[in-house]
Structure 1
């Protein structure tokens, strides 16, 4: 099983209609990422914001991968699909509606970079992104992710 498949296995997915700003998005991400962990909301939020100040985590096509290194034993991931794109940076060209958020262990830089690269490659597929955007429920999104994971397993 590839690293991306492993992360998709543990990923929670959510669909939101009420997130209208990057600030609100990051607050929701911090809230979701601290579930079942010993991390605090403020620590996760602070680390996500600190990483974002180094450079935008927007990768194009309406996709962003906010992420940070933090004291976790294993990668934690959340996928959010937004009903409306939000302004993700000062540039109006950077508007996101698909969010892959990651918390990665501090000591494993190679895993972190490989995972970001794998997600970026997955998001190069316009048909896959369009399919994801069309789904209305968290159950449909989860099934779509599971199908993607299964297809990845068959092709490897």
Structure 2
């Protein structure tokens, strides 16, 4: 018998989550385990943001905790970016991006301790609208920057929330 532990940090919303685990060697048998979030705290909530030039909606809307507001970059221009200052160096394990329809197809997430020297933490060329849960190697950093290099629409980049854990 093998026991696995689920990390509460893997779950995005603060609600019970059902996990079904199949049992090897058994047909149609499974175990249902309710998982509730632990003490994960969004480190980016209401923190200071900086964006590429001329956003149509402020970067502060991407860290305000509301899924009805958003950062919106200039339309039709690549690349565009948003950065959040967490206020102090801390261990970062996960970044959650909640994209609107005008999402990034190609983008990267970078981390920095000083706001000038950046280390790549994640990159993709197959991004889409909705929630992207980026699990990264635990890294000490104060700043998180998301740079879009290719859009999914002719508009700009539109991010409901940028969360850091």
- TM-score grouping bracket, smaller chain normalisation: 0.3 to 0.5
> Rg: which structure is higher?
2
TM-score, normalising length: structure 1: 0.32
TM-score (norm 2): 0.31
Choose between structure 1 and 2: higher strand proportion.
2
Return the structure number with greater helix share.
Answer: 1
